[in-house]
């Protein structure tokens, strides 16, 4: 049973978070949501326009080298055969490779979960040592500390303790729920009863796979650091050091995890595709790439259709966090102005929201342009960054979309094909009127082993895809890894439904090809 003072303090805290005029406050917040959504869509539209403009323009830093292809060519008299796959093919052998990778990924995720629990326990012990006196009631607090007439100090300490354990409790909930939900995020397709409830399961646990986990970890760390720093400055050395100890341990664990992440097997996937087709981009980057993050990093040359999918996913993750923070800040400002008789902050706050949106757009434009590959030096810099730190703080591998100018996309693709362990050549949408991917097909056949390439295509374009591959394979560079093959075989997956089952089968083939190096 909680002490009366604890209950009173809790009631006062949450009462102060409420708006004095519920109808007006609710209306204001609804307006903020609509304005924020409008700003998000306008910003995305503007950024996509700018990106499309840059893609069509040339980089001033890029040095255009006229290359003469002096590599001797050889002709393949035998020709190339095709291994045609679809959803009815036998994938039992490739599923074994996937289960190996899933087991490895689960092991890493479990280790990460145990470290998170250790962090929570250390924070909780430190919090109990520092705040237990306040939680036992005002009389016991005075008796233990020896302070007299310290009701104000007691209330302040109690509030800090409540915040401390509130943040820690939320972080613990996210750690546990994230682990429960995460265990079923490695497969796109589930058979049996779990296959039926899988969509609902993923919907329920989606919020626990978002950036909230990292945000709450940062809040717990910063809150403990601020409390420990202020306590130390105020002369409460033992209390301060007690609060700072879990912060130090937390940072050490993060650095250790990031250090060990560099040693994890990283199956690097390169995704090449027909540009500017929203439907195929949605399937590739909303389904395939979402599961690949557990096994390795992926590269792609970005275009507006990619960013429509990428920003939609980020919007779903970040926007709820933004709205919660917006509500909390607005509530605090409204309560403060109401207490001082200064009126409603709705107008000024809305004005600041628009100013913040303009600042966000300006910063985003600069950041987006800085991410464009301007020359070879910039490309190598980005690849080195990924090599140094391939894993994110949530223990999944990074994605690396490469935005390119009109005169840098070829040098980017040429570099990426020799970096990746496996290549997905997505030719859905390929047609006689849209044969811009012939350059990539020719580059792949001259650079990458056929065993490490998977072609995708719709049924109505399979014959065209075969013709292009046959044509490009008929004459290869002498240095091509495929030039000396006795029985060359190209693998083509014929896509029909673009459902979870096909997603899993394509993933299984890619994993098997990546491990076949």
What DSSP letter does each residue of 441-474 carry, written as one string? HHHHHHHS-GGGEEEEE-GGGHHHHHHHHHHHHS
Positions of the chain with pLDDT lower than 70, given as ranges: 1-26, 63-74, 76-78, 135, 138-154, 183-184, 188-206, 209-210, 276, 278, 312-324, 327-328, 331-332, 334-344, 434-436, 517
Asked if 158 contacts 134 with a C-beta cutoff of 8 angstroms, the reply is yes
Average pLDDT over the chain reads 80
- Give the sign of the dihedral formed by CA 44, CA 47, CA 49, CA 54: negative
Q: What is the pLDDT of residue 210?
A: 62
User: Tens of pLDDT along 469-482?
Assistant: 998 898 888 888 88
Q: Name the residue ranges covered by the structural domains of the chain.
A: 73-89+266-302+373-515, 98-261
Pairing of strands 73-75, 475-477: antiparallel
pLDDT of residue 259: 83
The pLDDT assigned to 27 comes to 72
- CB neighbour list of residue 137: distance below 8 Å, 6 or more residues apart: 3, 4, 5, 6
- Secondary element (H or E) of residue 10: helix 4-16
Contact 224, 251 (CB under 8 A): no
- Per-residue model confidence as pLDDT tens digits over 274-322: 876 767 777 777 778 778 888 899 998 887 777 777 776 666 666 666 6
pLDDT given at position 424: 94
Distance separating alpha carbons of residues 511 and 95, to the nearest angstrom: 9
pLDDT score, position 2:
40
Architecture of domain 73-89+266-302+373-515: 3-Layer(aba) Sandwich (3.40)
Alpha carbons within 13 angstroms on the beta-carbon side of residue 160 total: 22
Angle between helix 4-16 and 151-182 (nearest 10): 70
How far is 483 from 478, CA to CA, in rounded Å?
A: 6
**Contact partners, residue 449, CB within 8 Å, separation at least 6:** 481, 482
| Residue 163 in tokens | 């915040």
CB 190 within 8 A of CB 503: no
Q: What is the largest CA-CA distance in the chain?
A: 97
Nearest to 210 by CA among 326, 297, 321: 321
């Amino acid at each position: 049973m909680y002490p009366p003072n604890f209950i009173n303090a809790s009631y006062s805290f949450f009462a102060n978070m409420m708006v004095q005029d519920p109808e007006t406050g609710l209306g204001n917040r609804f307006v903020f949501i609509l304005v924020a959504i409008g700003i998000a869509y306008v910003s995305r539209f503007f950024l996509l326009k700018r990106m499309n403009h840059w893609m069509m323009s040339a980089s001033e830093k890029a040095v255009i080298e006229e290359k003469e292809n002096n590599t001797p060519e050889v002709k393949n008299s035998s020709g190339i055969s095709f291994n045609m796959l679809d959803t009815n093919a036998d994938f039992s052998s490739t599923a074994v490779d996937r289960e190996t990778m899933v087991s490895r990924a689960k092991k890493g995720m479990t280790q990460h979960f145990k470290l998170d629990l250790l962090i929570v326990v250390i924070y909780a012990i430190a919090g109990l040592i520092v705040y237990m006196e306040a939680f036992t009631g005002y009389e016991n607090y005075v008796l233990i500390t020896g302070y007299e007439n310290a009701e104000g100090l007691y209330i302040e300490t109690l509030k800090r303790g409540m915040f401390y354990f509130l943040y820690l409790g939320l972080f613990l909930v996210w750690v546990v729920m994230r682990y429960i939900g995460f265990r079923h995020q490695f497969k796109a397709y589930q058979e049996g009863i779990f296959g039926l409830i899988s969509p609902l399961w993923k919907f329920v646990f989606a919020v626990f796979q978002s950036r909230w986990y990292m945000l709450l970890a940062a809040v717990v760390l910063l809150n403990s650091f601020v409390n420990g720093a202020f306590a130390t400055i105020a002369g409460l050395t033992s209390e301060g050091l007690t609060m700072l100890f879990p912060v130090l341990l937390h940072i050490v664990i993060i650095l250790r995890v990031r250090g060990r992440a560099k040693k994890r097997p990283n199956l690097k996937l390169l995704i090449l595709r027909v540009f500017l087709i929203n439907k195929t981009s949605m399937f590739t980057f909303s389904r395939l790439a979402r599961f690949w993050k557990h096994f390795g990093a992926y590269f792609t040359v970005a275009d507006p259709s990619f960013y429509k999918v990428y920003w939609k996913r980020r919007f779903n993750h970040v926007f709820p966090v933004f709205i919660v923070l917006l509500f909390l800040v607005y509530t605090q400002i409204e309560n403060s102005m109401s207490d001082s008789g200064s009126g409603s902050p709705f107008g000024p706050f809305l004005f600041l929201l628009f100013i913040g949106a303009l600042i966000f757009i300006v910063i985003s434009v600069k950041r987006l342009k800085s991410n464009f590959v301007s020359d070879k030096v910039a490309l190598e810099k980005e690849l080195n960054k990924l090599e140094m730190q391939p894993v994110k703080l949530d223990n999944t591998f990074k994605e690396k979309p490469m935005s390119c100018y009109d005169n840098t996309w070829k040098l980017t693709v040429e570099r990426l094909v020799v970096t990746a362990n496996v290549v997905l050549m997505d030719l859905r949408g390929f047609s006689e009127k849209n044969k811009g991917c012939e350059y990539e097909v020719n580059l792949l056949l001259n650079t990458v082993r056929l065993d490490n390439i998977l072609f995708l295509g719709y049924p109505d374009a399979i014959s065209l895809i075969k013709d292009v591959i046959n044509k490009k394979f008929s004459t290869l560079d002498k240095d091509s890894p495929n030039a000396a093959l006795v029985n060359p075989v190209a693998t083509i997956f014929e896509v029909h439904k673009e459902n979870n089952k096909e997603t899993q089968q394509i993933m299984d083939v890619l994993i098997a090809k990546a491990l076949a190096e």
